[in-house]
Amino acid sequence: MIRLRRAVLSSDTTERLRDYTDDIRQQATEKERKDRAKELWANRRQVRPGLLAGLVEMAPGHERCMYCGDSQGTDIDHFEPKSLAPLRTFDWLNHLLACSFCNSNQKRNLFPTAADGTPLLVDPTAEDPLDHLRLVLPLGMYRGLTDQGRACIEVFGLNARAVLVKGRMDAYSTAKDSIELWRIAMDKGQRDKAIRIVQVAWNRPLIDVLVAMFHQSGHPAADALFAGEEETLDLLRDSELRTTFLHYRGLSY
C-alpha cells in the first residue's frame, strides 16, 4: 500500500452521489437505509463511470489495486462497508479501487475497529501506510508498526499470499536494476532513456517496494536496513536520482 491523493470528481457525478445519499438518509429506519443503499448501489449505472474514472486517476501504476498493488483494480470497494454504514455508500471519500481478490476474497465485509470505534484498516487516501507498515525488502514481507498496520496485514493477507511475497522480492530486484540503469543512462547523457526508465519503474506492479526503498534509504537506521547492499543504498541517496524518481510520483521522502 502507498499514499494516494484523492481525485476530484466531476460536478455531475458529485451531484448524483449527493442525491443518492439524500435518498438513503430519508429512510425511516436503519434497516430501511441499508436496504435502500443496497438497492441503489445495485443500480449505480449513472455514477459508476465517473467513480471509476476518478479511482483510475488515483490508482498506482496501470490501474493497480489500492490494497495489494499487484492485480488490476476492477472493483469499487467501500472502505467502510455499506452494510455497516449505509449513508457512506455513495460517499466519494469512502471509495477505493480494489482487485476482485482483495475485495471479495480478503476484505469482504471485514472492518476491524479499536475499542473507541476508530477504524483499524488504513485508508491510503487519508493517511500514509508507511506510518503503519514497514516492508522488509529482501524478504518481501510486511511488519506491522501499529495496530492498524497489523490489521491490514491480516485482513488483506499481505504476508499470507505467497504470490505477493514472491512478487515483492522480484520487484525489489527489478527496482534495483531500474535505478542502476537510470544512473548509467544519465552518465551517458541519454536523458530520454533515463526518463523512460523512471516511467516504467513507477508503472510496474507492486510499486510499494520502490516507495519503501526510497523511504527506508532516508531512515536513520538505513545502513542497517540495507546491510550488504551498500551500492543500492548509495544510489538511493544520490540526490539527482532521488529528486527525479520522487518528483515523478510527487513524493518527498
| pLDDT tens digits, 88-145 | 999 999 999 999 999 999 999 999 999 999 999 999 999 999 999 999 999 999 999 9
**Residue 253 confidence (pLDDT):** 72
**Residue 9 confidence (pLDDT):** 96
Handedness of CA 151, 73, 90, 39 (dihedral sign): negative
Cell 487519508 found at: 126
**Residue 172 confidence (pLDDT):** 97
Among the listed residues 190, 178, 188, 192, the one whose alpha carbon sits nearest the alpha carbon of residue 241: 178
Cell 499470507 found at: 160
pLDDT at 251 over 90: no
Among the listed residues 76, 55, 155, 63, the one whose alpha carbon sits nearest the alpha carbon of residue 108: 155
CB atoms within 10 A of CB 92: 20
Tell me the whole-structure pTM to 2 decimals: 0.92
> What's the CA gap between 74 and 46, in Å, rounded?
17
User: Residue 76, SS3?
Assistant: strand
CB atoms within 10 A of CB 16: 18
- Split at pLDDT 50, 70, 90, the class of 252 is confident
Residues in contact with 88: Cβ distance below 8 Å, sequence separation at least 6, in sequence order: 78, 80, 82, 94
CB atoms within 10 A of CB 135: 24
Q: DSSP code of 112?
A: -
- Split at pLDDT 50, 70, 90, the class of 249 is confident
